[in-house]
A = this chain, B = another copy of it.
Amino acid sequence: MTEYSKMSRNDLENAYSDLLLRFQKCKEQKLNLNMARGKPSKIQLDAVSGILGYANTAEECMEDGVDVRNYGELTGLPAMRKYWADVLDCKPEQVFVGGNSSLNLMFDVISRAYSHGLLHSQRPWCKEDCVKFLCPSPGYDRHFRVTEFFGAELITVPMTAEGPDMDVVEELVKDPCVKGIWCVPKYSNPDGIIYSKETISRFAALKPAAPDFAIMWDNAYCVHEFDGDYVAFPDIISLCEHSGNPDMVYEFASTSKITFAGAGVSALAASEANIAYFTKLFSVQTISHDKINQLRHVRFLKDKAHTLEVMKIHAEFLKPKFDTVANVLEKEIKPLGFANWNRPKGGYFISFNTLPHTATRALALCKEAGVVMTPAGATFPYGKDPQDCNIRIAPSFPPVAELEKAMEVFCTCIKLAALEKLLEK
């Protein structure tokens, strides 16, 4: 194959005709495949369903002298706080254990910033003339939507191979309207990048103009390697403390992709002052979170070391899927020279950049052929990718055989949309 940029118009026309035929054949298969969301597959869920065998009787429901079937322990079962501290390399006193959704904890932090303010806020954000929030992009659409929901102006920050462009971040935080930044520091969504040590240090050392600047550190994939060994990762809370910014960071994690998606246990980790502040706020909305599920998790996952063993089970099922996507892209797209993508070793996504101004069209074609993808633009603030080129591929859910079919359709549509553009059809 030749790169599109080096092909004659005639050759491009021929390629286009071939692809049209191939696209028709794709459509005839009447597929119904989904690569839109980072959902674990059934086989992964089956492999960790041993957790359902814990806390099955009244006798098993005592832990740390606490009856997990009754009210109490708003900050979480002591053993579960200890568990998260072990996983995130912080202190148990720096952990607030939440419900089944870390997104909900993030939402609650921003929602309370809006209505009441954070620990160092001069006033609630709803009383500010202007609130801006930094969104390293491509990034996670649900993050961006939370701050958009509360009326913040979303500012795009470019991603580099080492994480968000810190030159840009350091410049932007001089604006007192800039109140925070969304981060997925390990296996970033969707790029799969691990922030470099320098990036992390520069985060901890930020001197924002806003006294209540919030680093929303969503460590969603903290133990989620599927290719190779666990990669140690610095504790941002102590780094912030050493830099004299102890209350600047809010770290989040959950077991949604360790045990069950939407039926796991979430955590907020932050300075003890922040945990005290939020425990007081959270006491208005709930008496305590589900400690039975916390107990099941502690008994099943035990600690970080054993959690890493459990993650190897997930890796066994995830790696072949990421390999499938990579292999198809290498074969079908790489020689044509118009697109690029990452090859992550952890997390749940592949970030694919096609020919500018063709992503929306390509995904419309995919949909026509029965393959649903995350909408084009979703990885940018307001769902608008200025280059209309970034596509998030989520290969975890479909079995490999379906994934191969879906990727064939995907490649066909990507090429078709690119040729339409090049040929100005």
- A263→B284 contact, CB < 8 A: no
Q: Give the docked Cα–Cα distance between A67 and B126 (Å).
A: 40
Give the residues in chain B near A7, CB-CB below 8 Å: none
Is A260 part of the contact surface with B, judged by Cβ < 8 Å?
yes
**With contacts A99-B100, A284-B145, A285-B107 known, is A67 near B45, CB below 8 A?**
yes
Q: Is A224 an interface residue when CB atoms closer than 8 A count as contact?
A: no
Tell whether, in the assembled complex, residue A285 and residue B52 are in contact, meaning their CB atoms are under 8 Å apart: no
CB pair B58 A286 closer than 8 Å: no
* CB under 8 Å from chain B, chain A span 71-129: 71-72, 99-101, 103-104, 107-108, 111, 114-116, 126
* B-chain residues with CB within 8 Å of residue A142 when the two chains form the complex: 284, 287
Assembly stoichiometry (copies): 2
Contact A57 B49 (CB under 8 A): yes
Contact with A71, one of B37, B114, B126, B291 (Cβ below 8 angstroms): B37
Chain A 169-184 interface 0/1 with B at a Cβ cutoff of 8 Å (1 = within): 0000000000000000
Given known A-B contacts A263-B69, A263-B292, A291-B262, A284 and B58 have beta carbons under 8 A apart: no
Most buried by B among A39, A71, A146: A71
A residues 243-287 near B (Cβ < 8 Å) are 256, 260-263, 284-287
Besides the known contacts A39-B70, A68-B263, A103-B287, 11 further A-B residue pairs in the complex with CB atoms under 8 A apart = A39-B71, A40-B70, A46-B58, A52-B61, A56-B56, A71-B261, A103-B286, A107-B286, A111-B111, A260-B292, A290-B293
